[in-house]
Homo-oligomer: A and B are copies of this chain.
Amino acid sequence: MRYHETPLQVRFNEVDAYGVVWHGHYISWFEAGRNELTERFHLGPLQLKERNLLAPVVELTCQFKLPASFGDALIIQTTMERTEVAKLGFHYRVLHKKNGKILATGSTTHVLTDLDGTLLYRVPPEVLESIEEMRKYLEV
């Protein structure tokens, strides 16, 4: 298994009254990593929409290990897990670029729906193919 890596720098407005990144912002970082990964395989939000699909988040988890501070250079690592058909599971790690320490881990689970939000019984073959290519790239 490998991770796709997205560099990111902590913005001043992401830091809270305790001088550390407010925990909710990690969710947007996971998304930034996921979108950069999925766009490579024509599975980004806009590309899915062109294929008449949506991939809403149905579950997310986040485990916070160490705080991040304003200006910190981070790496968002994104990978997938094998899941049942019509679901996509992503895993994330947020690392300090300088020392490789893991600040947080997390996951999001997505379902595939049509543009009306109806769950797909069956994923279109060309979309399955894109997912398969993404899996090969991530070695999962």
Quickly give the copy total for this chain. 4
A24 and B60 alpha carbons, distance in the complex (Å): 9
Q: Pick the contact of A61 from B25, B61, B117 — CB < 8 Å?
A: B61
Q: Which residues of B contact A70 (CB under 8 A)?
A: 17, 45-46
> In the complex, what's the smallest C-beta–C-beta distance from A3 to chain B, in angstroms?
19
Within 8 A of B (CB), among A5-57: 11-13, 15-19, 22-25, 27-28, 31-32, 35, 39, 44-46, 54, 56-57
Q: Pick the contact of A13 from B16, B19, B54, B59 — CB < 8 Å?
A: B16
Check A63 for interface membership: any CB of B closer than 8 A: yes
Q: Pick the contact of A56 from B12, B35, B64 — CB < 8 Å?
A: B64
Nearest B residue (CB) for A57: B23
A16 lies within 8 A of B18 (CB)? no
Nearest B residue (CB) for A18: B54
A27 lies within 8 A of B27 (CB)? yes
Check A71 for interface membership: any CB of B closer than 8 A: yes
A16 and B55 alpha carbons, distance in the complex (Å): 14
